[in-house]
Amino acid sequence: MPIRTVTVLGAGTMGHGIAHAAAAGGYETRMYDVAAESIDKGRRAVEAIVAKGVELGKVTAAEADAIRRRLTATTSLPEALADTDFIIEAAPERIDLKVALFGEIDRLAPDRALVATNTSALSITEIAGSTRRASRVAGMHFFNPVHKMKLVEIVQALESAPETLQAIEDVARRMGKETVLVRESPGFITTRVNASIGNEAFYMLMEGVATARDIDKALKLGLNHPMGPFELVDLVGLDTRLSILEYLHRSLGEKYRPCPLLAQYVKAGRLGRKAGRGVYEY
């Protein structure tokens, strides 16, 4: 089934970037959000990406206009889902909310429509299991900021059909992304590895093995990581990292136990750049 129309549910941090990527990939794109302010903000954010692309010579003025024309935005869910081919859900990370939204998708979207969820950690099998179309649901995990990050993790839930995974791969490629396929598992590939490295770095700091600056420097210059683990956790948020580790610890076992020093930093309010201080002061 050729995919012509893509609907993105949620116009927040991830949703607007995904909608931009879909429109830039040539799809008729609809961006939906419950909040009119989020739609306005999402539209402005897409416009900023498009304008910057023209300024940098990555897209021509004509291509930029075509992207703008292909992207519409609405707060009406029936309008967003009517006769659409492919839905990407990027609503808040709450299972109750996602299950309710997937119920609406079942009710309002055509049966043929495939649904990809951008969830970072919720069970896609559980979300899919709440619908009438479990074989047409899978994960499509983008990275922030979407227009700069090349990777999409395609996540196979228990009942995702091979054709669904193939269609997601095709869409991702048209968006200019590279893909990896992963079976549903806590943290997929990237979050699991990244959380482990970050946790190990905190253990080393706690044990006094080296300073934070030297651990960051070692990973950047010795292992070619673009950012050090402490620079990265300050960007991600120490509270976010702690809750990811708690989840991996609960679901995968002892080796993911969050380092006590990380928990202590969070208690002290050292949450990272957003708080003005994390491992480093800003």
Owner of token pair 């074989």: 135
HEC profile of 116-174: EECCCCCCHHHHHHCCCCHHHEEEEECCCCCCCCCEEEEEECCCCCHHHHHHHHHHHHH
Nearer to ligand NAD, 64 or 172 (CB): 172
Question: Does residue 92 have a cis bond before it (omega within 30 degrees)?
Answer: no
Nearer to ligand NAD, 34 or 108 (CB): 34
Task: Compute the least distance from the CB of residue 225 to ligand NAD, in Å.
Answer: 18
Select the span of 66-74, 140-148, 196-204, 248-256 touching ligand NAD (CB under 6 A). 140-148
Residue 191 interacts with ligand NAD (CB under 6 A): yes or no? no
Nearer to ligand NAD, 9 or 59 (CB): 9
> At a CB cut-off of 8 Å and minimum separation 6, what does 24 contact?
59, 67, 175, 176
Nearer to ligand NAD, 143 or 203 (CB): 143
Select the span of 4-12, 212-220, 221-229, 273-281 touching ligand NAD (CB under 6 A). 4-12
> At a CB cut-off of 8 Å and minimum separation 6, what does 189 contact?
153, 180, 182
Pick the closest to residue 112 from 149, 83, 91 (CA basis): 83
Tokens of 258: 């969050």
DSSP 8-state symbol, 4: -
Any idea of the CA torsion for 190, 196, 198, 201, to the nearest 10 degrees?
A: -150
Task: Compute the least distance from the CB of residue 65 to ligand NAD, in Å.
Answer: 26
Measured CA to CA, the distance from residue 19 to residue 75 in angstroms comes to: 15
Residue 118 interacts with ligand NAD (CB under 6 A): yes or no? yes
Task: Compute the least distance from the CB of residue 37 to ligand NAD, in Å.
Answer: 8
Site string for ligand NAD, 64-103 (x = CB under 6 A): --------------------------xxxx---x---x--
Site string for ligand NAD, 5-24 (x = CB under 6 A): ----xxxxxxx---------
SS3 6: strand
Residue 179 interacts with ligand NAD (CB under 6 A): yes or no? no
Residue nearest to ligand NAD (CB): 12
Q: Give the residue, chosen from 120, 156, 160, 164, that forms a contact with ligand NAD under the rule CB under 6 A.
A: 120
Select the span of 33-41, 125-133, 175-183, 241-249 touching ligand NAD (CB under 6 A). 33-41
Give the H/E segment covering residue 189.
Answer: none
Q: Which residues bind ligand NAD (CB under 6 A)?
A: 9-15, 33-35, 38, 90-93, 97, 101, 118-120, 141-142, 144
